[in-house]
Amino acid sequence: MDQDLQSIASARRCAEKAFKAYQDFLGTDPAHVDAIVDAMARAVEPEAKRLGQMAVEETGYGNVDDKRVKNLFNALSVADFLRDVTTLGMLWRDDATKVAAFGEPMGVVAALIPVTNPTSTIIYKVLSAVKAGNAIICAPHPRGIRCGLETVSIMARAAEQMGAPKGLIQCLDQVTIAGTAELMKHRRTSVVMATGGPAMVKAAYSSGKPTLAVGAGNVPCYVHKSMAKELGEVAEMIVTSKSFDYGTACVSEQAVIADPEIARELRHELKLKGAYFCTPAEADRLAKTIFLGKRAMNPERVGQSPYILAEKSGFSIPPRTRCLVSEESEIGWHRPLSAEKLNPVLAFYEARDSDHGLELAQQIARFEGWGHSSVVHSNDPSIVAKFSSIPTGRVLVNTPAIMGGMGYSTDLEPSFMLGTGTWSGSITSDNVTALHLINIKRVAYQNRPWRDIYEEYAE
């Protein structure tokens, strides 16, 4: 049978099965739902490294150690957060206004899974969807089917052992664009959670279903002169964040902007932490390796080590290099390395002064990264206040972008789906959680005489 037809048939079977399981799951005591979520988290935790290994082997992206950390963040930190969140039943009541709110599931969640994070995103989305009382069907990228199926299998088995209906948690085993489109628009699908490239996000919003989707992240990182005595730690944060899983996270830093007073020393510290500054000729070759054209990253170069990127670009780098850096002065597609790069590559700008540094950060965020995240390293509250006008959903202060944005080193909600707001066409700028996957029903008693409206608005 044609692959598209197989995928469409698979999507239809999963959707019908998920809807039945969702109906059977309706009304489950919230405490039992919590027990199921905890069981899934416990089941996937010891498998974190193995699933990371599967993901790297199948997709060719990232590295096992960091994939393991991503999996554990979702199995532990996201699960810990969900344990203290109320999603079902009474959420709150106000006796004075006589209004109470109740959480109810949305139904069947179609979860599109990116190839860059094929196991960790599943862990996060499955825990969140079930916590909200929903059924979920994961649609992995074709390059991540095997590791996606294994992750879902572990979690579904744990849930069913705790009494969850069979079919509540599923994964498409045959994936094509046509099959994923069928899943999104199927009559049983209630909401779409889309994480992936621009084409996937556009298709999700075109499905005709309510959609939570995220956009690209061209994250600027501005280092203010007030950090002069802390540049070693700043450099470590930047290099660690950008090199994490070989740059596959869209929330990691993309461009460093330094005040002139500290630019030279910051370059030195970045080099000590493992950053290699390319020559202009090397940077031009690197850009051609990473990009196929405007808005077109070469998928074969995503999530690759700096050594592979340098080799493919025709130059050598020192041992223990963790990321590559290109000195830039302009922003736009005529300088491709000023755009989002899903690999361990940074752009570096030296500002003329603090005002120029803030202006460069604004320009970078607006170029291919509206709404996502930005970072400022400063001990001056007035600079942080000025920087906060940047058009991003997260402004992270004195922390690595990836750890801060996903809610580990900050008190943002732990999440692997970071909304980008209407700046880039997303419905939310929040860190998406289970609370985005419930309908909130309000029960409101009459609190003032209804006939008074005629007196209040009398002519």
The set of catalytic residues is 250
Q: How far is CA 72 from CA 91, 119, 150, 458, in A?
A: 29, 11, 16, 63
Q: How many CB atoms lie within 10 A of CB 385?
A: 10
Cα–Cα distance for residue pair 212/250, rounded to 1 Å: 17
Look at residues 55, 87, 24 and name the one whose alpha carbon lies nearest to residue 303: 55
Tell which residue, 418, 21, 398, 411, has the closest CA to residue 221. Answer: 398
DSSP per position, 349-407: EE-SSHHHHHHHHHHHHHTT-TEEEEEEE-S-HHHHHHHTTSSEEEEEESS-HHHHHTT
* CA distances to 40, 53, 295 from 265, in Å: 47, 38, 33
Q: Could you tell me which of 20, 227, 250 has the C-alpha nearest to residue 114? A: 250
DSSP three-state, residue 3: helix
Task: Give residues with Cβ within 8 angstroms of 272, minimum separation 6.
Answer: 232, 235
Q: Compute the residue count for the chain.
A: 459
Q: How far apart are CA 379 and CA 230, in angstroms?
A: 10
DSSP line for 117-160 = STTHHHHHHHHHHHHTT-EEEEE--GGGHHHHHHHHHHHHHHHH
What are the CA-CA distances from residue 4 to residues 7, 122, 180, 193, 196 (Å)?
5, 23, 10, 22, 20
Name the strand (E) or helix (H) holding 42. helix 30-44
